[in-house]
Structure 1
Amino acid sequence: MKAITVETYGGPEVLQLRADVPIPTVNPGHVLVKVAYAGINFMDIHTRQGKYAASVTYPVRLPCTLGMEGAGEVVAVGAAVAGLAPGDRVAWCIAWGSYAEYASVPAARVAKIPDAIPFDLAAASIFQGSTAHYLVEDVAQLRPGNCCLVHAASGSIGQLLVQMANSRGAKVFATGSSAAKCAVAVQRGAAFAIPYDNGRFADRILEATHGDGVDVVFDSLGKATLRDSFRACRTRGLVVNYGNVSGSLADLDPIELGEGGSLFLTRPRLADYMADGPTVQRRADAVFSALLDGALNIDIEGRYSLEDVQTVHARIEAREQIGKAVVCIGGAR
């Protein structure tokens, strides 16, 4: 079968399109899926770069077939799998191997797709949607009257965070690296969106909240914004650092949280909030239902072939693509 494989960490040039990869064996507890679409996201970039080389939470090791989210049709079911059968339409995430014609996926990572959700939309929404869902519902536990700050709000997860926080009745402030990206955040429902401005976004947030700060900051950038995120947060507020796109803050002293107002800082990962099949299905159902009733919108910026993956990786790494991209493998374009 065709697949995108990685044998050494590095830039987009290490991606290999191969036509001779064996179809995966269906192991106990897994299902074999004929992949229709695979999503492309920053976790794929980070996997290729080697950021998960020593991870316990995401133990993907080289050599590997890239791609950690996708959608398609079950063609075979392994031993000890219940509730799934050949012909089922499914989506999954944080299970690697989706940049391929077939993928063996742990059954506990699989969610069934409603008939009204096409494969491309399922592949585009399962990872980012589940991520935004657990951050808003489980970590932040946003409720009416709260206010929050979403960094990188024009990005795929950022846009979903803005929409989901709004649906919970929270007031949303946002940041972006350009006027165009700020406009995307406002279009999605942010009360206002401002540039990072070398950390001066925190001053603007304090002005907007009469000096109090927001209840929650969603920070996916890390090093470039985290300390100013502390400044933008209220006393005993919560800073959720769920990514480190700008690098890790390696010199953080916990006393800074006390000085910032007895802040809470967490660095969650989706895998710990997708512990079993029912939880995976619950999150997927919430995302798919919101898509179907119009409460949630996801724009698929591009549909590409396996031959295009290297180019798309380069564009995402250069921040030239802000919307969701999917790889068309076996689905209709």
Structure 2
Amino acid sequence: MVKAIRVHKVGGPEALSYEDVELPAAGPGEVRVKHRAIGLNYIDVYDRSGVYPAQTPFIPGSEASGDVVAVGEGVTEFKVGDRVAYTARLGGYAEERNVAAKVLVKLPDAIDYETGAGMMLKGLTAQYLLRRTYKVQKGDTILFHAAAGGVGMIACQWANHLGATVIGTVGSADKAKLAKDNGCHHTILYRDEDFVARVAEITGGKKCQVVYDGVGKQTFPGSLDCLRPLGMFVSFGSSSGAIEAFNIGILAQKGSLFATRPTLFTYTAERADLLAMCDDLFAVIASGAVKIPVTQRFALKDAAEAHRALEGRDTTGVTILTP
């Protein structure tokens, strides 16, 4: 038996139940991992609340790091004692779990467990956003919403490193300082300022090549008005609610814009792509150009408290659950 957080009926943070769960032996193609650190992400809220339907009961959690304690039949890439990290749908909020070997990667010695747990989903999300969905180039101007969040703080450092001018929206003066300390050249307090007007002011009316939006309903369609002609709107989350259906003709009206709704798990579906993305992420972290800011820690048993903080926008950077 291992301790884990399970959801028996979707709902609020109170739906997270800390309990004993029976864990079978690792099956063919599986690796048993003893978790050292577990990442907290907004997708966990979507799962817990039923926005992303899952069969109950389920264990939430989509990224973690730890040690290999057993390997199943047919697994040759990993051995007992390997330090590993992964991002995978569901199953992370547990002391130990069985995970498919195809989603695991070896954690370099230079990267600690908390960094490993905090960088897989969030760091790989930043990687595909900046390097694949829209390939940020030196001289670009980008807008990143929720710049003091987990993905935002990683992506803004990385975009700055790539030579872009980085504009970030944040919810408070404290978060503005955090964003500026982590790569933003300009910050906009979205609760107090019209972010569309401020982007136009900052850019001298030229606007941005790309807008990265994990907020959703609250920032749409304003995000489109921050783009120059032929710019790209990248919607990768919906922390304020989903964007409702809209007339695609609005993209023509606002300058022949591109719009996309990518997901990490599409980009990492092929193992070769996952490994290449991890190599890119690990390299930029090892160089010191991007740091993974672990700013909050909760015990796994206090996952409900962590969810309340996340939904209340009281967290910044990376939040870790410790088994």
TM-score range, shorter chain: over 0.9
Partner residue in 1 for 2:42: 42
Q: 1:18 maps to what in 2?
A: 19
Once the two structures are superposed, residues 194-235 of structure 1 have per-residue CA deviations (whole angstroms, 9 ceiling, x without a partner) of 122577211121222232210000011111112111000010
Asked if 2 retains the 8 angstrom alpha-carbon contact of 1:143 and 1:168, the reply is yes
2:30 paired with 1:30: yes
Paired position in structure 2 for 1:233: 227
Letter in 1 for 2:196: A
Q: Is the 1:199–1:225 contact (alpha carbons within 8 Å) kept by the matching residues of 2?
A: no
Contact 1:110 1:277 in 2 (8 A): no
Corresponding position of 2:282: 288
How many angstroms does 1:48 deviate by?
A: 0.3
Q: CA deviation at 1:256?
A: 0.9
Matched letter for residue 139 of structure 1? T
Paired with 1:116 and 1:222, the residues of 2 have a C-alpha distance of: 36
Instruction: Give deviations 1:70-98, integer Å, cap 9, x for gaps.
Output: 01111222233331222211000123212
Q: CA deviation at 1:301?
A: 1.6
Provide the identity percentage.
Answer: 36
Residue 120 (1) aligns with residue 114 (2) = yes
User: How do 1:83-162 and structure 2 match up within 5 A?
Assistant: 83-162=77-156
Structure 1: give runs of 5+ residues left out of the alignment.
54-59
Query: Does structure 1 conserve the Cα–Cα contact (< 8 Å) formed by 2:153 and 2:317?
Result: no
Q: Is the 1:24–1:32 contact (alpha carbons within 8 Å) kept by the matching residues of 2?
A: no
| Residues in 2 aligned to 1:61 and 1:284: alpha-carbon distance in whole angstroms | 30
Task: Give 1:285 shift.
Answer: 2.7
| Matches of 1:208 and 1:304, distance apart in 2 | 38
Determine helix, strand or coil for the equivalent of 2:221.
helix
Q: Distance in 2 between matches of 1:240 and 1:29?
A: 35
CA distance in 2, matches of 1:256, 1:27: 50
Q: Once the 2 structures are TM-superposed, how far is the Cα of residue 6 of structure 1 from its aligned partner?
A: 0.6
Shift of 1:120: 1.5
1-structure distance, mates of 2:205, 2:89: 43
Of 294, 298, 306, which residue of structure 1 is paired with 2:292?
A: 298
How many correspondences in the alignment? 322
What secondary structure is seen at the aligned counterpart in 2 of 1:239? Answer: strand
| Per-residue deviation, residues 3-51 of structure 1 (Å, max 9, x unmatched) | 11111100011111112x1114422222111111111111111110111
Q: Structure 1: which amino acid aligns with 2:12?
A: G
Per the alignment, residue 7 of structure 1 pairs with 8
1:269 counterpart = 2:270: no
SS at match of 1:72: strand
Give a deviation string over 1:112-155, Cα, whole Å, max 9, x none. 10112111111111110000001000001111111100110010
Do residues 248 (structure 1) and 246 (structure 2) align? no
- Given that 2:147 and 2:153 are in contact with CA atoms closer than 8 Å, whether structure 1 keeps it comes out as yes
Letter in 2 for 1:2: K
Question: What SS does structure 1 have at the residue aligned with 2:27?
Answer: coil
Normalising by structure 1, we get a TM-score of 0.92
Give the SS at the match of 1:2.
strand
Moved runs in structure 1, 4+ residues, more than 4 A?
A: none
Other-structure match for 1:208: 202
Please state whether the residue corresponding to 1:224 is helix, strand or coil.
Answer: helix
Could you state the TM-score of these two structures normalised by the residue count of structure 2? 0.95
Quick check: 1:110–1:280 contact (8 Å CA) kept in 2? no
Q: Corresponding residue for 1:76?
A: 70
Question: What's 1:56 paired with?
Answer: none
* 2:187 alignment counterpart: 193
Does residue 319 of the first structure (1) align with residue 320 of the second (2)? no
Equivalent pair of 2:296/2:315 in contact (CA under 8 Å): no
Separation in 1, partners of 2:280, 2:31: 23
Q: Which runs of 5+ in 2 are unaligned?
A: none
Within the candidate set 175, 178, 181, 1:181 is matched to 175
In structure 2, C-alpha distance between the alignment counterparts of 1:229 and 1:72, rounded to whole Å: 39
- Distance in 2 between residues matched to 1:13 and 1:70, nearest whole Å: 22
Aligned mates of 2:191, 2:319 — CA distance in 1: 28
The CA RMSD measured in Å over matched residues stands at 1.5
Deviation at 1:260, TM superposition (A): 0.8
C-alpha distance in 2, partners of 1:99/1:133?
A: 24
Structure 2 contact 158–183 (Cα < 8 Å) conserved = no
Q: Which has the higher mean CA deviation after the structures are superposed, 193-202 or 259-268?
A: 193-202
